[in-house]
Amino acid sequence: MVTRYTPRERRSTPARHLPDELPEGLQRRRGLALQSSREPFVGVTTDGHPIRGLYPLRDTGLTLEDVTWAAEMFLTSLDAGGKDAVTFTLDAPEWRMWSNIHPFLARHGLLLETLDDDRRNAALAIARAALSPRGYETARNVMKLNETIREITGSDAEYGEWLYWIGIFGDPSDTSPWGFQIDGHHLNLNFTVVGSQLVATPMFMGSEPVVADAGKYAGTAVFRDEERQGAALMTSLSAGLRRRALIGEDLPGDVFTSAFRDNFEMRYEGLPAGEMTSAQQMALLALIDTYVGRVRSDQALERMHEVRAHLDQTYFAWIGGTGDGSPFYYRVHSPVILIEFDHQSGTALESPRPSRDHIHTVVRTPNGNDYGRDLLRQHHARHRH
């Protein structure tokens, strides 16, 4: 395969099992995973104290029966061993132990690679029902580009299209809360169903590379809109507003609220939406909708109502340059949504500095509703189990 990408020389770390010896950095990361999973959940906040009342438990009039039905069909397709491996209690610590890197640190559930086509398609049907067509395409393209990086590096032990795990939390039901997770390299989807309400965070999506220029999936690309819209919003600002939005020159090296940072404290920084022009506010909302719109349209519309209600408390922050080809980081932060986008240096590819060939994105629901936790808290208070 001829490609413009050059693989980086490094020690291979397996993605399917925990090796006998982990490098020191991965030992620390696994320790952090185990520690964070045992900490009481608070959520992303500005000061360690979540604001209550932001996410009322209510009947939206929508139905999520097709998501539940897809999960039930998948479980029906499995034998007893498969069901035992894929199912967890609703409050299982495994739900918070997703990881966006490829080495095996804390995977759980059923590996898609081990399923036959019918069962794999049944597993993916759950995600297809919960995501919009565009969101599902993005998720699948991330998986396809994980195959591309396998082709470039030749590392079957680390990468591949189907190196993703699925887990079902609780019993799929139209009346009782439940959820599911898809977990693997650069793709971590967490969905919680509470009645007619769907929470789709934490949602981590990334890729290296972001475009396949050769191989099985040549032409596949991700995050073009996320990159273009973020840059367009920053460059649309006046010089004075750009200075307000700019919070640093050196990229952070990763998004701040990636794996094992469920209780991260992040203050508001950057440019308040209230200081933007009407056109810039519309561009900001369109950028947010690109991320929120990864979810099925009826639920995305509900989510955007939440976002709009807090537009005057929404901040846009930028790190890095604004020139053509310059790598950058941006985030959108309000009481009800946190979006981060970051250009990364190379991990599998030879790129010692951040470049546009490696992107991480994450979406969070601040103030305690990642994994639908605030809705679950209210549900359990209303329906004593």
The model's pLDDT over 54-73, given as tens digits with 9 standing for 90+, comes to 999 999 999 999 999 999 99
Average pLDDT, the chain: 96
- pTM reported for the whole predicted model: 0.97
For the ranges 6-20, 272-286, 298-312, the lowest mean pLDDT is seen at 6-20
Supply the pLDDT for residue 21. 87
Distant-in-sequence, close-in-space partners of 110: CB < 8 Å, separation ≥ 6: 78, 82, 85, 86, 123, 165, 166, 167
3-class SS of residue 109: coil
* 163-198 CB burial, b ≥16 within 10 A, e <16: bbbbbbbbebeeeebbbbbbbbbbbbbbbbbbbbbb
Residues 229 and 40: their CA atoms lie apart, in Å, by 36
Tokens of 151: 């082709």
Name the residue with tokens 């992040």: 266
Domain ranges of the chain: 25-385
Supply the pLDDT for residue 384. 74
| C-alpha 200, offset from chain centre | 9
Residues 129 and 347: their CA atoms lie apart, in Å, by 32
Q: Where residue 266 falls among pLDDT bands split at 50, 70, 90?
A: very high
Q: Summarize the confidence of residues 275-284 as an average pLDDT.
A: 98
Q: Summarize the confidence of residues 14-28 as an average pLDDT.
A: 91
Share above pLDDT 90 across residues of the chain, in percent, rounded to a whole number: 92
Q: Where residue 12 falls among pLDDT bands split at 50, 70, 90?
A: confident
